[in-house]
Amino acid sequence: MTTFTVSTVAQWYSIPNSINRIIVSSNSLNGESFTTMDFSTFTSLKMIEIGDECGMHVTSVKITGLSSLKSVRIGKNSFTTEKGDHSSERNAIGVFQLKDCPKVRELKIGSGSFSDYSV
């Protein structure tokens, strides 16, 4: 299985489309200008692993149409700007999509992740 480990935005944009496994290191991809993670172009992807406290300013995570994908693991406090704050009064604007991936058998999401998301 070919694996690509990401810890910078430049690395994210250099991931080959034919990769089987993407690992995002903890405390990565937190720049204010990085707001979208679309995995849908990686058609051979089988595993996605995202560490803790990643994607602080990401408001759209799209994992769609991946016929080989089997596992998605997301660490704690990822895809949120307010760690530990789960207030329903905040303006929740994020969108997480996982669909049309028929082989997915595992979806693990750590505590505090996606707390800014409404979908």
Closest CA to 79 of 42, 40, 24: 24
CB contact at 8 A, 19 and 69: no
DSSP three-state, residue 49: strand
The tens place of each residue's pLDDT in the chain, 119 residues long, gives: 899 999 999 999 999 999 999 999 999 999 999 999 999 999 999 999 999 999 999 999 999 999 999 999 999 999 998 765 555 545 678 999 999 999 999 999 999 999 889 88
Closest CA to 97 of 68, 70, 59, 55: 59
Helical (H) or strand (E) element with 48:
strand 47-50
